[in-house]
Structure 1
Amino acid sequence: MPVTWQDGATGLRQELGRALRRVATIAVAAGLPALLSAAVPTALVSEAAAQTARRPAQATPSAKPSAKPAERLLVEAQELIYDNDNNTVTARGNAELTYGPRTLQADRVRYDRKTSRVFAEGNVRLTDETGAVLTGERMELTDDFKNGFIDALRIQQTVEAKGQPVRVRFSAPRAERIEGDQTSFDYGTYTACEPCKTRPENPPLWQIRATKIVHDNVTHVVAFEESTLEIAGIPVAYLPYFEAADPTVKRKTGFLTPRFISSTALGQGVATPFFINLAPNYDLTLSPAFLSNQGVLGQGEFRHRLDTGFYNLRLSGIFQTTPSAFLPGPLGAGDRDFRGSVESKGQFYINENWRAGWDLVGVTDKWFLDNYRIRNQSIVTDYFREAVSTAYLIGQGDRSWFEARAYYFKSLSSFDWQKEQPIVAPVIDYDKRLNGPDPLGGEVRFESNVTSLTREATDFQGIPRTGTYLLSPSANGISYPLYDTCTIFARGACLIRGLAGTNTRLSAQASWRRTFIDDAGQVITPFAYLRTDAFFVDPRNSGYQNALVQNITTQDGDFSGRVMPAIGIDYRYPFVSNFGPLGVHTFEPIAQVIARPSETQIGRLPNEDAQSLVFDDTSLFEWDKFSGYDRVEGGVRTNLGAQYSVVTPAGWYANVLFGQSIQVAGVNSFRRGDIANVGLNSGLESRASDFVGRFQLSPNQNISLISRARFDNTDLSVNRFETGAIARLAPFAPVDLSLFYSFYEAQPALGFSHRREGLTASATYHITPNWFLSGSALVDLTHYLDVRDIYTDALKTYLANPIGTAPIYENPGRFYFSGMSLGAGYQDECTTVSVNYIVSPIATALGTRERNQTVLLRVELKTLGEADLRQNVGNATTADGIATVR
């Protein structure tokens, strides 16, 4: 039976007499001092200990529990010895002492009543209330384990860094534990790296070695005195003193990792971010950047999270000391002293169905963000450079969707004219689905859209002459005549991307569909829809280039409308056969017929949102193949095709589709181009369209290949071809790769007088589980974006004195690396190091294309921070808005 401590020695003798040949269980209540308060003869305890030396002893709660259960000490050991002469208690053999949330384990633990100290020796392990594990050869602690000294201390603690668990380690030959809240390490080390499994005595990949390390668990600060950063045991950096938040802290006031800056225009500099933790739900980051050529660039960001959402505000500004480092207007901001930007993003949930937000960018000039390397997620870089500001209200129900937005597009490139950029407010979409009424059944869908936009100047483009360069240089809205002259809109000579003035359209469509499956497996889906559109075009509030569109009937501000009813049927007859291990094979012929009147007012209405027309397998069976509301497909059309698919038990999947679209009656909407020539050169402009096809193969979940093509309907020549593969070859090969190839035949009616052909590829080779090589490339196989020196010199001469004929750029027919990157790196549980050589395009002030060459070094020491070092290499003659770049 259990043995419990009682008041006096008599009861103890009686209990022990009945337990000499049993497992002895000793309960210690109210801590070790209470244990010593019982006057028990040493000999008796020694006799009991002798009988139980090879039997486990476990401490259990007393019959008279303390008023504070958290302060009770539970002792478990193979042997428990009480020495009354020396006033000590010793637990030997897998001793484990638990005091509240703290647990002490050791080979031998001795408690000295006179000093109220606990001495633990041999494989000592102390786990505190935070989960941190302290190990050492010897520990001298107070009876509540909060204070004391530790020899050969090692602390291991699991924390979260960027959403991933990371184990951090402190070690020291001797340390002091103070009130359980602070640990002081003499000649200690700190690291987040795992020790080498085969040679744990080797130094970790990185560690901080310091004369003294003080870890405060209350303030969550780690202070390092006389510290040195070691890489593989080699000192690489020294700091006499610094403090850092411990790894459990996600937000704490202090300096962040500095960012180094180097460029010809800005000079040498460093940005020193300082984070201010104002409250658990809002903070402020100040990031002054000290630049040798331009002075101090001030940056600040305020972030605030509330119960229903969040918002932030970022401000940047500088009074330039050397404005002449930038090109003068209108090609740069060299005539400005002050430059800056304001950015803000927010989103709030009104209730479970509604949310509202914004994403705004404002700049003093279009070059500021790029010149000072300030990036925002809403900015599209490289080929398309613009900042998009938007505000929105979104509602979502079980079967409905509402979205209202407003847009402002800020051009960030020298060859874009801001007056041609539209202000769009509002764009409202509503989509609702309902069960069809009896006896129709099926599904009823209601869609509506309202769009209104305003621009100051018509965005137009002349159709290029044969053999001319793909892009026409322009500056501040003046397009230099590499194209045919386009002063008045004329089909075959001009493309209008957007009309000046205010254009408003209201669209609504109601549709119905229902699917029937007969006993033979035939799938028949009848459908019908009614589409209505109302346009109001008013160019009178614009003073720029209105004469360009004088022969478009709506230019006087006329109201126009159209109605498009349609009925149709979709027929599919899948044939399915199961070949066992060879999989399930399905062959499915598809036929679709849509009857509707001809489209009206083609080319007499604006087209803002339906300029992207791609005819391929994804749009073959669409009711309306236009991408937006400004155009609507008309006439009687049939879409024919078939697909074959295979699914095997081993996980193979393959699919092939082939088909064609045929205009049966009425006006072919794609044969008559609108003011942007949409429809022409699309493959749909003839009565019988081009053929479209798709091939898809996935041998397993790690490999996927897809190809799609459009073949000419007369000779089956390829007019459009796209193919790509994504593969993760492990465990067969340590390689991840992707490869995409695209080919588009010339579309002169749309402004592309030459074929376009390109290749994108990326790959990562894992040399070992930690070391890797990576690379990517964007290759222009038709070489149109490369401007040869002879052409560049001739163009500069022409722009300086635009008399005569502009130079003609002939295609040399060689491939060109528009962009690429090569890199290598190392990554493990505590460290990431990578170096990359990056080549990216630059949109220059002359409208030509050049490449920026950059070396980027990135180092991350988990739980300490990360740093990036970016350096431009090579030479570029002219960067956007900058006088010179090296």
Structure 2
Amino acid sequence: MRKVADITVQAGLALLLLSGAITAGASQALAQSAFENKLAAASKPKPNERLLVEAAELIYDNDHNTVTARGNAELHYGARILQADRVRYDRGTSRVFAEGNVRLTDETGSVVTGERMELTDDFKSGFIDSLRIQTTVQSKGQPLRTRISAPRAERIDGEQTSFDYATYTACEPCKDHPERPPLWQIKAAKIIQNSETHTIYYEDSTLEIGGIPIAYLPYFESADPSVKRKTGFLTPRFVTSTALGTGAGIPYFINLDPSYDLTITPTFVSRQGVLGQAEYRQRFDNGQFSIRLSGISQQTPSAFLPGPLGAADRDFRGSVESKGRFYINDRWRMGWDVVGVTDKWFLDNYRIRNQNVTTDYFREAVSTAYLIGQGDRSWFEARGYYFKSLSSFDWQKEQPIVAPVIDYDKRINGPGVLGGELRLQTNLTSMTRDATDFQGIPRTNAYVFSPSVGGVNYPLYETCSTFTRSTCLVRGLAGTDTRLSAQASWRRTFIDDYGMAWTPFTYLRADTFFDSPSLTGYQNANVSSIASVNDGAVSRVMPAIGIDWRYPFVSDFGALGVHTIEPIAQVIARPSETRIGRLPNEDAQSLVFDDTSLFEWDKFSGYDRVEGGIRANVGGQYSVVTPSGWYANLMAGESIAIAGVNSFRRGDIANVGLDSGLENQYSDFVGRAQVSPNKNISFIARTRLAQNDFSLNRFEAGVIARFAPFLPLDTSVFYSYNGAQPALGFDHRREGITASATYHVTPNWFVSGSVLFDLTRYLDNRDFYNDALTNYLANPVGAPPVYSPGDRFFLTGLSVGAGYQDECTTVSLNYINSPIATALGTREKNQTVLFRVELKTLGEADLKQNVNTITTADGISAVR
């Protein structure tokens, strides 16, 4: 006998109807009920938890002591929600039976679905048939869903779920063919998910890729996807190389506390033994720091080159790395990045990654410590630097220790009628090096033939045993060099009745150099011709006054866009620069004259040089912007030395200024052109033309294009040309092309690549042939020289790769061929294959393999 009535459930739950009587058979009526919190004593419920029920039909069977909710039944108990086509509650056993499209959501947001569930009345324990669990977590800012499915599972105390013959994956099912297996999944005889320890255990498991078994593990465990930190083993790291042998690193992560942890990674390699690594990380309320130690007592040191080209004479090798960031308050912060190694080849030999190691042509590790403060209109920064050379051909004694470097920059509004902006800039820099860093200037048409690297010829350089300006460049002085600089400036812009913008400005610059040179003790230390060496403290003052004038003409042509023509003129009056070439130049050796520096008050890149003399900078620009998104900009101009000493005509100890395009009274012409037909395509070109004959001295041009949605291709191509600058050490022009592209074959598959062509390598062979032919004609002995034109498009660098990426998997394979400079001065290639696989929530692994036949730059012996 079944009866629908307002009754109270006595066996564990009390039911209170919230609205009216429910008519039997009314399948679309809404029944809302509340089960009061009178659970059985054994269940120990929370005082405020009660069961709320919503259903189309509610049936009470007093004979069988059951309550049944049918038709979109939804039961709420605390934070847990049970949904099903039909739910039956047995008051005698305190069990809940749910059937048909059953869905259980717990307090963490995890969703359990199945065809049938048998649960306790608080939904914490029970059995589930045809189970599926979906959990959503945030991974790198994107939602990541994981799924566990099984024909039958048991839920125990709401903390642990045991799945029989289950599968686990983070991949979305195929929309068109959901019956197909996901890209990857783990099948196991038993999977146990513990929500208390946030761990998933797998027993008798197999990893399948596309439904094909590829790996078997009798037992392993992984962290729950919601867990960011958990003690356990991480993804192994595999190593293989001729010097190290074959091996693997097995990281073990120890979660000591929510605020600090330790990772220990022993790496076993067959030729060298055990590389030990330990990394400690800790967070504080105002920052964090980490420290990593690495070390190995090598079993086969002879696998590496003997000194000074390698570490064959070392048994123990290691490194220490540390990084810290701390916020003192909302305006001040401090930190450090430190790298220390026993030898310059260790990090590369043992494949230890560090973001502070640069690898483009020159390898070095940069250590720094800093203090930074930032106000509303002010900036303070104090730093110290240590540069560790990691290349065989660099001499560590030529590398400086720079400490401190202190910068302060403050801007304020000009007082009273003066108005405008006042700015104060100060800089204190001190550096010390043991040996003077010299570079010989290349000899004209003098080359040495190198058959070991394909018959390429390389220029001979002048010998700099003693410093002479005609043969040597000084990149850095031995000893201690300290400089204190300060500059105060003012500027204000006025716009007259005709729309012309006038910006008068003035500044006063003062520098003091304190030198304690090292004249003896190391090769190439004789720099006695530099006056400041014997002067001790030397000061320099540079006052300046100038005006900047601009007159923009603007016209709006509607659909044809807004057109602007703007002539620009600038005049700066200063006394001549003093002591040119008789002071150190450490931070102003990079001088590029182009459109970006044309109207700079001082065109030198650093404080060690200061521009002097009366100079005018003139030019103009034209731009157009249309409603359709078309944008174009053209700019051209030149710089004119009017009076005084031209700072760029007289080179310093590094010859900075010479061959720059500014050394003559009338500078080279500089220009820029930029065209963007839409937001996806941009063309840009820069040029510097000789003032007397418009010959090309510098040219850059490139295009960046994104063709989506019409074509899934992103690409860029750039061409660069730099004319010969013999005074700066470049005896012939430099020319090259770089190109890169990424093509998305499908939304998930992509291929990418980049190339770098050296268009001037063939000049070595041509010039060598001319020099050899001249010598042969003067003394015709032996066979005449044979001209080898070389390769015009010499492939200097290459990178190609392909990959796949979706919501659960990332796979990539890349081949990288990059240039390196070796200890012998020859050019070789570093060829590397990098394979990387990431299975979301399980881990990632990568394999990096050098494929060079002979390498000398990394300290590895060519004889194994």
TM range (shorter): over 0.9
Q: 1:52 is matched with which residue?
A: 26
Cα deviation for residue 30 of structure 1 reads 9.8
Task: Report the equivalent of 1:446.
Answer: 424
Q: Which residue of 1 aligns with 2:85?
A: 107
Task: From 663, 668, 671, give the equivalent of 2:649.
Answer: 671
- The Cα offsets for residues 303-350 of structure 1, whole Å up to 9 and x where unpaired, read as 111111111111111111111111111111111111111111112111
- Do the aligned residues in 2 keep the contact of 1:319 with 1:338 (CA within 8 Å)? yes
Query: 1:802 corresponds to which residue?
Result: none
Paired residue for 1:498, among 457, 460, 476? 476
Residue 267 (str. 1) matches residue 245 (str. 2): yes
Structure 1 segment 754-765 matched on structure 2, within 5 A: 754-765=732-743
| CA displacement at 1:787 relative to structure 2 | 10
Q: Is the aligned partner of 1:614 residue 2:587?
A: no
- Give the distance between the partners of 2:635 and 2:690, measured in 1 at CA: 16
Give the counterpart of 2:13 among 33, 46, 55: 33
Asked if 1:239 corresponds to 2:217, the answer is yes
User: Corresponding residue for 1:804?
Assistant: none
Structure 1: state its 5+ residue gaps: 1-11, 17-25, 39-44, 473-479, 792-806
> For 2:210 and 2:702, how far apart are their aligned partners in 1?
42
Q: Secondary structure at the match of 2:239?
A: strand
8 Å Cα contact 2:520-2:526 kept in structure 1: no
Match of 1:528? 506
> What is the CA distance between 1:703 and its match in structure 2?
2.3
Q: Render the CA deviation track for 1:489-545: whole Å, top value 9, x for unaligned.
A: 222211000111111111111100000011211000000001111112221475224
2:534 to 543, 551, 556: 556
8 Å Cα contact 2:682/2:705 also seen in 1: yes
Letter of the 1:305 counterpart: R
SS of aligned partner of 2:658: strand
Aligned partner of 2:416: which letter? Answer: D
3-state DSSP of counterpart to 1:357:
strand
Tell whether the 8 Å contact from 1:448 to 1:508 is kept in structure 2 after alignment. Answer: yes
Conservation of the 8 A alpha-carbon contact between 2:765 and 2:789:
no
Match of 1:864 in 2: 842
Query: What one-letter code is carried by the residue in structure 1 that aligns with 2:13?
Result: P
Matched, 1:653 2:631: yes
- 1:87 and 1:114 in contact (8 A); partners too: yes
- Aligned with 1:708 (options 655, 662, 686): 686
- Compared CA separation, residues 293 and 52, structure 1 to 2 (3 A): same
Q: Once the 2 structures are TM-superposed, how far is the Cα of residue 470 of structure 1 from its aligned partner? A: 11
Q: Deviations along 1:573-605, whole A, 9 cap, x unmatched?
A: 000011111111111000000001111110000
Q: Is residue 630 from structure 1 mapped to residue 608 from structure 2 by the alignment?
A: yes
> Is 1:467–2:445 an aligned residue pair?
yes
Q: Deviations over 1:396-419 (max 9, x none)?
A: 111111111111111111111111
Quick one: distance in 2 between partners of 1:182 and 1:259?
32
Distance in 2, Cα, partners of 1:787 & 1:864: 54
Matches within 5 A, 1:282-681: 282-468=260-446, 482-540=460-518, 543-545=521-523, 548-681=526-659
Q: Distance in 2 between matches of 1:209 and 1:241?
A: 12
* 1:144 paired residue number: 122
Cα drift, residue 866 of structure 1: 0.7
Q: Decide whether the 8 Å contact of 1:460 with 1:497 is kept in 2.
A: yes
3-state SS in 1 of match to 2:460: coil
Q: CA deviation at 1:821?
A: 1.2
- For 1:56 and 1:458, the matched residues in 2 are separated by 90
2:663 aligned partner, one-letter code: E
**Does 1:79 find its partner at 2:53?**
no
> 1: CA distance between counterparts of 2:676 and 2:39?
67
Aligned to 2:711: 733
Q: Could you say if the C-alpha distance between residues 278 and 62 of structure 1 is closer, same or farther in structure 2, counting changes exceeding 3 Å? A: closer
Q: Is the 8 A contact 2:421 2:491 kept in 1?
A: yes
CA separation of 1:63/1:205 partners in 2, compared to 1, >3 Å: closer, same or farther? Answer: closer
Closer, same or farther: CA 877–86 of 1 in aligned 2, 3 Å: closer
- CA 1:299 to 1:557, structure 2 compared with 1: closer, same or farther past 3 Å? farther
The whole-number CA distance in structure 2 between the counterparts of 1:828 and 1:520 is: 60
* Deviation (angstroms), 1:102: 0.8
Shift of the 471–401 alpha-carbon distance from structure 1 to 2, 3 Å rule, reads: farther
Render the CA deviation track for 1:7-35: whole Å, top value 9, x for unaligned: xxxxx99xx7xxxxxxxxx7989996223
CA distance in 2, matches of 1:651, 1:357: 44
CA deviation string 1:223-269 (max 9, x = no partner): 00000001111111000000110100101111111111111111111
SS in 2 for 1:184: strand
Aligned alpha-carbon RMSD (Å): 2.8
CA contact (8 A) 1:316 1:340 kept: yes
Structure 1 residues 751 and 809: alpha-carbon distance in aligned structure 2, compared to 1, 3 A threshold: farther
Distance, in Å, in 2 between the alignment partners of 1:276 and 1:404 is 36
Deviation at 1:841, TM superposition (A): 2.3
Displacement of 1:63:
13
Supply the distance in 2 between the matched residues of 1:342 and 1:156 (Cα, whole angstroms): 43
Q: Give the Cα–Cα distance (whole angstroms) in 1 for the partners of residues 463 and 274 of structure 2.
A: 47
Letter in 2 for 1:572: R
CA contact (8 A) 1:467 1:810 kept: no
Q: Deviations over 1:360-398 (max 9, x none)?
A: 111111111111111211111130211111111111111
Shift of residue 809 of structure 1?
Answer: 13
User: How big is the shift at 1:64?
Assistant: 12
Deviations 1:119-139 (A, max 9, x none): 111111111111111111111
1:688-727 per-position Cα deviation (integer Å, ceiling 9, x unaligned): 0000011112223322222111111111121111122222
Alignment partners' CA distance in 1, 2:810 and 2:610 = 53
> Which amino acid letter does the alignment assign opposite residue 33 of structure 1?
L
Q: Which amino acid aligns with 2:31?
A: A
Distance in 1 (CA, whole Å) between partners of 2:863 and 2:118 is 64
Match of 1:796 in 2: none
Question: In the alignment, what sits opposite 1:769?
Answer: 747
Percentage identity across paired residues of the two chains: 73
Deviations 1:92-127 (A, max 9, x none): 111111111111111111111111111111111111
Counterpart among 740, 745, 756 of residue 778 in structure 1: 756
Supply the distance in 1 between the matched residues of 2:82 and 2:39 (Cα, whole angstroms).
22
Q: Does 1:689 align with 2:667?
A: yes
Distance 1:814 1:118, change over 3 A: same
Q: Does 1:162 align with 2:136?
A: no
The one-letter code sitting in structure 1 at the alignment partner of 2:790 is P
Q: Please give the alpha-carbon distance, in whole angstroms, between the structure 1 residues aligned to 2:25 and 2:36.
A: 22
* Change over 3 Å in CA distance of 1:65–1:240 after alignment to 2: closer
Q: Single out whichever of 64-73 and 203-212 deviates more from structure 2.
A: 64-73
1:744-775 CA-to-partner distances (Å, cap 9, x unmatched) read 11100000101111222211100110111111
CA 1:627–1:763: 2 relative to 1, 3 Å? same
In structure 2, C-alpha distance between the alignment counterparts of 1:573 and 1:35, rounded to whole Å: 84
| Conservation of the 8 A alpha-carbon contact between 1:403 and 1:430 | yes
Conserved 8 A contact 1:696-1:707: yes
Alignment check: 8 A CA contact 1:570 1:593 kept: yes
Per-residue deviation, residues 646-700 of structure 1 (Å, max 9, x unmatched):
1112222211100000001111000000000000000000100000011112223
Closer, same or farther: CA 713–813 of 1 in aligned 2, 3 Å? farther
Match among 717, 722, 728 for residue 750 of structure 1: 728
CA contact (8 A) 2:519 2:525 kept: no
